[in-house]
Amino acid sequence: MIRLNGVSVTFGRGATAVNVLRDIDLALASGETLAVLGPSGAGKSTLLAIVAGLERPTTGRVAIAGQDLAGQGEDGLARLRARHIGIVFQAFHLIPTLTARENVALPLELSGADDADARAVAALERVGLSHRLDHYPAALSGGEQQRVAFARAVVHRPSLLLADEPTGNLDRATARMISDALLGYRDETGGAVMLITHDEALARRADRLLRIEDGRILTTEPATSGAMAG
């Protein structure tokens, strides 16, 4: 599902160049869950942006869903994202002028689906928000907003679900609900899930755990408790 070979990212040049990712090799198969842990500034968000096709590597190769990203223009990358990738962010990133169902329907509408609203409603029902369909984000709690964001990320059934600190702004109970939904997505669909987190307990529920620091992979651990944590 994901293959990174020798990926480096450098911002700036000369004396002010910052090596944010250094020679990263990473593979993630369909049906696998991966957690990425590391201190602030380690390069986690940059890694996610690379995997999402939102950022291009300075050197190295990236392939997503069997397609080499180097051969894709911006339109190709946008199409790849729209078909194969869903992303959940820490700060929700809902559009404030759209209702919950409109937020979830938007990516489907942009890709020309004629049943966007019905599928948006079904996805919101799946996350227990059938009573919040016509609410605007400002009228929703943080946990509800993240459930809308999750529904938006999965409404097109992506084969790759990405999350960047998805529980960072949530209380414990809500964080648990979102974590269950993210990890459950693999069981439900057989897709791949990659999540960035500061939360060791959440990270340990993934099949594999990758620690990065200063742009390098320190360790890759098979999670020992993933199978029983459900």
For ligand ADP, the binding residues (CB under 6 A) are 11, 18, 20, 38, 40-46, 119, 122-123, 126-127, 151, 154-155, 157, 181, 184-185, 188-189
Q: Least distance in Å: CB of 111 to ligand ADP?
A: 13
When the beta carbons of 135 and 216 are compared against ligand ADP, the nearer one is: 216
Q: Least distance in Å: CB of 48 to ligand ADP?
A: 8
When the beta carbons of 68 and 125 are compared against ligand ADP, the nearer one is: 125
The 18-28 sheet, strands edge to edge: 18-28, 2-11, 59-64, 67-68
Q: Least distance in Å: CB of 201 to ligand ADP?
A: 19
When the beta carbons of 69 and 155 are compared against ligand ADP, the nearer one is: 155
Residues 6+ apart with CB under 8 A from 141: 174
**CA-based nearest residue to 163, from 224, 76, 85:** 85
- If you compute the radius of gyration of the chain from its CA atoms, what whole number of angstroms results? 17
Q: Least distance in Å: CB of 6 to ligand ADP?
A: 18
